[in-house]
Structure 1
Amino acid sequence: MMRTRPLKVALLGCGVVGSEVVRIMSTHADDLAARIGAPLELAGVAVRRPGRVREGIDPALVTTDAVGLVQRDDIDVVVEVIGGIEPARTLITTAFEHGASVVTANKALLAEDGSTLHETAEKHGADLYFEAAVAAAIPLVRPLRESLAGDKVNRVLGIVNGTTNFILDRMTTSGAGYNEALEEATALGYAEADPTADVEGFDAAAKAAILAGIAFHTRVRLDDVHREGLTDVSAADIASARRMGCTVKLLAICERSADGRSVTARVHPAMIPLSHPLASVHEAYNAVFVEAEAAGQLMFYGPGAGGAPTASAVLGDLVAACRNKVNGARGPGESAYAQLAVSPMGEVVTRYHISLDVADKPGVLAQVATIFAEHGVSIDTVRQQGKDGDAWLVVVTHRAPDAALTATVEALRKLDTVRGVASIMRVEGE
């Protein structure tokens, strides 16, 4: 039976995502009520600029007093889509203290201080849902922390930023340079006016921290994630990848160590074979590849950004939080019991593609090979091109620790015959 008292929802932020949340709540009000067991009522919308016309929202509900809104004791669920660390953190914890559950899309806050949010929610008997924080409409958080709760996840490998995937896809398919591809992404609305968070990997790193924490039942903070952006990826890198039967993607990689005692989380460009499922992810789409002990290999694919896709994930969480309110239940909280160590990047083992600008004269290859051998990095293939005293040496290694590769590169830079290390890129997914 449906209860007649509506569940009251407070919305923090009413931009692209927030306005879509309101639209869906209104358009599908009857269906949402039937699924929850009670109707939903939008009780207030906190914004910074109240004078703006917001279609479908009663102006009487709009306020600039976000603190006052979340302090109301009649609010059942707070939806936070303003982003950033503050005032979002204060508003969310205040909502918990006043008995409200929270649905958020705030990846930056969760990656930096998710443990505090979970502890505060637990203390006050509230729920914290955050599906929209990782890959918008793609169901990923709930499968990891619920559907795979009885399994052991060993690896999460994914494309979790649509802007960077669009840029690299354009560089690969049309031959565009980085700046040209970025300009197109900006014109189409995929990239912000300041694209730093995307192209330097900050956005993907926050998502990697969240995914690693859930997958490995261990607290992983943003500072634990090794991060590299794609601004140094060149047309030569794209061409080299093509010759190897690979493509270049900006990947978020979260792995459990072979002995199971530690985990790593990292974000960086990498070459992956064209046969890998992630290689076929084009445009601004996201996809995440999960490897679990019993379930095997799973892939989650779809739009990872945008107002409507993100709002879809928010509404899914809102339904779950409201159902719990109706039934007097609670959803899953933080699972960090494993307390695994988070290893530094230097311990990561993978393959590498190194491009060197060298002098075109006898003995150079032997010198380079000696440096690799001295640091315990085994060479798989070497390709050399040269003319009129200039030469490029492309080396692809077997699997080696990142620290060994770093030491190798530093030693190579000291050789008189090596004019420069043009690029270093990891090779993944094999």
Structure 2
Amino acid sequence: MTTPAAPNVPFLDVLDPAFDFDAPEVYAAQAESWYADSPFGLLVLRYEEASDLLRDRRLTHDGRRYLEMHGITRGPIHDWFVPMIVNHDGEVHRRLRGLMNKAFTARRITRLRPFVRERAEELTDGLDDGGTHDFVAEFGIRLPLAVMCRLLGVRPEDYDLFGTWTADLGLIFSLSGGGDVVARLEHAVDGLNDYADHLIDDKLVRPSDDLSSDLVAAYQAGDGQVSREELRNLLVTLVFAAHDTTRHQLANAMVVFARHPGQWALLGRRPELASQAVEEVMRWQPSSTSIYRFAAEDFTYKGLAVEKGTYLTMCVKAAQRDPRAYKNAGRFDITEVRELPSLQFGGGPHHCLGAALARVEVGEALSVLAARLGPPSLMEPPAWPGPLGIQGPETLPLRFGPGLTRPERP
């Protein structure tokens, strides 16, 4: 069953290859209605409604149904995604979430910060020559990959092998893009499942001070906290949470600052604005442009009778430029204090565990880059993979201007 849109509700063809959430018709539709119709379901365009529905227990992820919509009913993608923690609710979700909360602590993230800073400085060294660089390949992928591997206890010699799979895992939310998405995703899931099994076996014998060892210890305790299959799934899902969205957010930040060089220069002069800059970048150009839900039951919301099974997409990028929610919503300004949180990390029981780590990584990266280098300039227009799901350019050739300071590295 699907809920039909009212006759006067705007229609947005998000499957059109030329569609862009920056287009004027999106914000005209937002001004007219809190939701729009689309070829596959309802699009929630405003912040208040998107925030409400992300926390609404009458909506669910229903991973099985999501894959069926894209023709996937079996195979490695199905076997990874359907049992994923975000696709559980109730007691199973509370048990797995409780285990993750014990391992994914604020203390662990705080201890990672010096490593993040050091790695950001090392990667910035390679960009500080006035030449053209692919920011995605040379910085955007490498920083979160190194942090994720450090977090999980992956050996440095395995970083490159690991990275060939992690970069494709986020394609799970871009299945509507077609092409070779399914093949790439299957290859990534197969590789990461095998590696997760190897990691579990290694940590059973040689535990260390890392998140993987903490999770393996819970499994080894044998008190029913987590099964071997659940543990493998959690580790693969952590890879997705800790790498893909962050690497895209870093690249998206460079696109934004290339178009707002004055804001970059301001950040270089005022490093105390780094945390606000992170929030503004995520508001303006989020890596998670949309989040889907299914109605688990019939209900009515703001006059709309939603039938069980209805597919709703929270349009994060549009909602985060909603003038009803934000003062000067249509302006990118790192000095503006934004009271409302980013939507791209979800809400309620399923709020992303990696949100704090992502903020640390992007904040340290922006702080180092802006202090050392002048504003980035795009050498060619970025190519976006599609308007829905996780979005960021796969390549980003750019050049940084001369910075105000070039401190010597110890």
TM-score of the two chains, using structure 2 as the length reference:
0.26
Higher helix share: 2
Instruction: Choose between structure 1 and 2: higher strand proportion.
Output: 1
Q: Return the TM-score normalized by structure 1.
A: 0.25
Larger-Rg structure = 1
Greater RCO (CA < 8 Å, at least 6 residues apart): 2
